[in-house]
Amino acid sequence: PDCAGIDHADFTPDGRTAVFTCEFAGRVAVVDVAEHRLLRMIDMPHRNTTMGPQDIKLAPDGSVFYIADSDQNGVWVLDGAATKVVREIPTGMGAHGLYLSRDATKLYVTNRHEGSVSVLDAYTGAPLAKWAIPGGGSPDMGNVTADGTQLWLSGRNDRSVYALSTADGHLIRKIGVGSGPHGL
> What pLDDT, in 10s, does the model give residues 114-123?
999 999 999 9
> What pLDDT, in 10s, does the model give residues 69-99?
999 999 999 999 999 999 999 999 999 999 9
With a CB cutoff of 8 Å and minimum separation 6, the contacts of 66 are 56, 57, 58, 59, 75, 76, 77, 78, 89, 98, 107, 109, 120, 125
Is residue 8's pLDDT more than 90?
A: yes
pLDDT at 184: 85
Kindly provide the residue ranges of all beta strands, DSSP E only, lying in the chain, ordered along the sequence: 6-11, 17-22, 27-32, 37-43, 53-58, 64-69, 74-79, 85-90, 95-100, 106-111, 116-121, 127-132, 139-144, 150-155, 160-165, 171-176
> What pLDDT, in 10s, does the model give residues 97-139?
999 999 999 999 999 999 999 999 999 999 999 999 998 899 9
> What pLDDT, in 10s, does the model give residues 23-37?
999 999 999 999 999
166 near 148, Cβ under 8 Å? yes
Q: What is the mean pLDDT of residues 3-10?
A: 96
Q: What is the mean pLDDT of residues 140-169?
A: 97
| Confidence category of residue 183, pLDDT binned at 50, 70, 90 | confident
119 near 100, Cβ under 8 Å? no
Is residue 18's pLDDT more than 90?
A: yes
Mean pLDDT of the chain: 97
